[in-house]
Amino acid sequence: MLVNLNKILPRAYKMGYAVGAFNTSNLETTQAIIGAAEKLNSPVIIAVSEKAIQYAGIEALSQIIITLAQKISIPVAVHLDHGKTYELCRQCIKNGFTSVMIDASHLPFKENVRLTRQVIIYAHKHNVSVEAEIGRLAGIEDNIEVKTGDALYTDPDEARKFAMATGCDALAIAIGTSHGAYKFKGKPKLRIDILKQIAGQIKNPLVLHGASGVKAIWISRINRCGGDLEQAKGVPDDLIIQAVRNGISKINTDTDLRIAFTAGLREFLHENPTVFDPRKISGHAREMIQQVVADRIKIFGSADQG
Ligand code: G3H
Ligand code: 13P
Ligand code: ZN
């Protein structure tokens, strides 16, 4: 069942769980996400980045996601991840997305508010929810590279002013995570104190980006079959659980799905040197992604909340 974030996140906050937003750019990943959510009876958010749109084409990709989402009874939001422009948000809404993120966090505060408002006015007319961002994550994401030194934790006062000025349906904040597979040099740490201050001041559902776990078991499976991801490190489960307990309602995961896909491909090809049927190869990778999505859903606490 296709819904926007307002049908998913306020309930998650009230009941004390978070809903996963999982990135896709193809059929198999979409099937894996929806398959895991359906099996665990969990609401889910399917996230599509600008690069995913460039890769797959917006018509083909949105049709795959929407077709699969409409077939099942659990709530599914189809969400643009890190939209940088009004035009891209508009294009996604025209293609049936139920939710968009306008990420103007790199702009000065006033500009961020202005662009976010512009998107909200258009989106709300179409019953589409809008996520915005305040603060900057370190790392690389869709056409955005923020060096670690330039990463800014969200200022709770700014977050409150921003939430009031925009009325966004969800707000992404920066509390120490970063995008990609190399999140921490030393011990993983999140600024739960900042999260508590923000959650204490605003009612808008809060979003954690860059939340992948980058589990050692998957990294060694990749490395055993010829990969080289030695220093990869993600957000441990206990920190994710703390973040949920303290007010995070939406958790973004992309890297973990990429890692599962890569592990699946590498292992399958290594163990089955005579197979060259893409359906068998991709089908195995799809199973690995589905396992990871299911694990994440259990950690977020959204199983049986569909
Ligand atoms: O937050 C960013 C997502 O991981 C999207 O990554 O731009 O490479 O599709 P991408
Ligand atoms: P990860 O790179 O930690 O999976 O984060 C993904 C993300 O935030 C997508 O918006
Ligand atoms: Zn992100």
Q: Range of 285's domain?
A: 5-300
- Domain assignment present for residue 194? The answer is yes
The model's confidence at residue 245, banded by pLDDT at 50, 70 and 90, is very high
Inside any domain, residue 88: yes
Distance between CA atoms of residues 24 and 21, nearest Å: 10
Q: What is the pLDDT of residues 120-144, one digit of tens each?
A: 999 999 999 999 999 888 665 444 4
Within a domain: 306: no
Nearest-CA residue for ligand 1 atom 8 is: 142
Residue (of 286, 49, 283) closest to 180 by Cα position: 49
Instruction: List Cβ neighbours of 227 (8 Å cut-off, separation of 6 or more).
Output: 262, 266
CB atoms within 10 A of CB 142: 18
- Upper half-sphere CA count for residue 196 (Cβ side, 13 Å): 6
**256 counts as catalytic:** no
Pocket test for ligand 1, best of 179, 208, 257 (most atoms within 8 A of CB): 179
The per-residue pLDDT for 143 is: 45
Centroid of ligand 3 to alpha carbon of 272 (angstroms): 35
Which tens digits make up the pLDDT trace of 81-126? 999 999 999 999 999 999 999 999 999 999 999 999 999 999 999 9
Please determine, for residue 189, whether its predicted confidence score (pLDDT) is greater than 50: yes
Output the DSSP codes for 186-219: SS----HHHHHHHHHH--SPEEE-S-----HHHH
> In this model, does residue 16 exceed pLDDT 60?
yes
CATH number of the domain bearing residue 207: 3.20.20.70
| Per-chain mean pLDDT for the chain | 95
CA of 179 to the centre of ligand 1 (A): 8
Domain annotation covers residue 277: yes
User: Is 216's pLDDT higher than 70?
Assistant: yes
The whole-number pLDDT of residue 149 equals 55
Q: Does the Cβ of 142 fall within 6 Å of ligand 1?
A: yes
Do the beta carbons of residue 260 and residue 29 sit within 8 Å?
Answer: no
pLDDT score for 147: 54
DSSP label at residue 15:
H
Given a cut of 80, whether residue 146 has pLDDT beyond it is: no
- Amino acid identity of residue 7, one-letter, is K
Q: How far apart (Å, rounded) are the C-alpha atoms in residues 137 and 32?
A: 27
- Percent of the chain as helix, strand, coil, to the nearest 5: 50, 20, 35
Q: Which of 254, 256, 258, 300 should be mutated for ligand 2, with most atoms under 8 A from CB?
A: 254
pLDDT of amino acid 138? 67
Total domain count, the chain: 1
- The pTM assigned to this predicted structure is 0.96
**42 lies in some domain:** yes
Res 152 pLDDT > 90 = no
The one catalytic residue among 81, 142, 155, 169: 81
Confidence class of residue 151 from pLDDT cuts 50, 70 and 90?
A: low
Q: Report residue 197's pLDDT band, with 50, 70 and 90 as the boundaries.
A: very high
User: Does 305 reside within a domain?
Assistant: no
Q: What is the arithmetic mean of pLDDT over 13-38?
A: 98
Q: Is residue 157 part of a domain?
A: yes
Question: Has residue 145 got a pLDDT over 80?
Answer: no
Q: Which residues contact 94 (CB under 8 A, 6 or more apart)?
A: none
> What pLDDT does 76 receive?
98
9 within a domain of the structure (yes/no): yes
